[in-house]
Amino acid sequence: MKSNAMTHLKLIVGDRSLLVLSLVIILLGLTSILYIVFSVSPQEVTLWMRYSAYSEAQFYKDNWYHIYSFAGLGLLITVAHIGIMAKLAERNMRSLAISFGWLTLLLLVVVVLIAHSVLTIGHRL
């Protein structure tokens, strides 16, 4: 397992565009994780977490620590997608790996936008 990870790391380091794209994904992933972790304040006992158009209340509150799952999602996306990019590059699908990296950047931006929307929903009510 360790030698497999080192092989993938050497493969990414050897390709400049994959290396730069991986570093940008890591930077955006860390930025999104830090933004989400530091945006949640524990003083807020509950946050608006769920919306339902079919009930009388429509907005439901839940514990604030559930919002940390967005940070976990950002970490999971960052690590897994870089691994998938390395596997694609190993199988001589470099252009697909680069396209997948760009889609990963877009996905991380969407995660941050959704987390930001959930964090600010209580201020709009």
Boundaries of every domain in the chain: 2-124
The runs of H, that is alpha helices, within 40-93 are 68-90
pTM score, whole prediction: 0.77
Q: At what angle do helices 16-39 and 94-124 cross, to 10 degrees?
A: 10
pLDDT tens per residue, range 4-30: 777 877 888 888 899 999 999 999 999
Return the H-helix or E-strand segment holding 60.
Answer: strand 59-63
Report the range of poorest mean pLDDT among 4-18, 25-39, 55-69: 55-69
User: Tokens standing for 107?
Assistant: 């996905």
Query: What pLDDT digit, counting tens, does each position of 76-114 carry?
Result: 999 999 999 999 998 999 999 999 999 999 999 999 998
Buried b (16+ CB within 10 A) or exposed e, 59-71: eeeeebeebeebb
Predicted confidence (pLDDT) at residue 44 exceeds the cutoff of 70: no
